[in-house]
Amino acid sequence: MQAPTHILTGILLLATFQAIFPTAPLWLQVVVVLPLSFASHFIIDACAIFTYHPPKADWKDWFWVSYHLVIYIGSVVILVFFIVDYWWVIIAANLPDIVDWLILRLIFKKGPVCHPIADKLRNFLFRRTPNWNHKRWTVIIEFVIIGVLLTSVLLLTNLISTG
């Protein structure tokens, strides 16, 4: 799935932990939530079979470009609001993308090492499920997921700050 989904999932995991354990020290939050945020990436990417997610960039397709422009802008807006308090879970939740697509592909010109894990998980969980990666209407699914995550994050962070 897309960056806002990963970002908001990491934030939601930490906000949930903080709401349940409001006096937990930072080291405990890191020990518990960091691995969960990292692992969430694989589960979310396994579910990407249900969303618009063509495997290759298509800069000539107006829909692909428009959709990704909205996703990139949304990612930046979310980061502006949450990066200060949640930077480490944002990094953890996006670490597989950072490793595979930024470090390995762009810098070292190598193939991914993290995403084959998500592929194996997807094949195990959804081997009989149709692949909707090329169905444009499935952007709605991702936007609904982002909306639910964002609403949950805002409610929880508001609860924590007023708690």
* DSSP code string of 18-63: HHHSTT--HHHHHHHHHHHHHHHHHHHHHGGGGS---SS--TT-HH
Q: pLDDT for 111-148, tens place per residue?
A: 999 999 999 999 999 999 999 999 999 999 999 999 99
pLDDT at 163: 65
Domain span including residue 88:
3-162
* Predicted confidence band of residue 73 (pLDDT cuts 50, 70, 90): very high
Q: Above pLDDT 70, what percent of the chain?
A: 99
Mean pLDDT of the region 54-81: 97
Q: pLDDT for 85-120, tens place per residue?
A: 999 999 999 999 999 999 999 888 999 999 999 999
pLDDT at 160: 83
Task: Please return the burial class of 51, using the count of CB atoms within 10 Å of its CB with bins 0-12, 13-18 and 19+.
Answer: buried
pLDDT at 159: 83
Instruction: Return the axis-axis angle of helices 62-97 and 115-125, rounded to nearest 10°.
Output: 100
Q: Domain total for the chain?
A: 1
Q: What is the pTM of this model?
A: 0.95
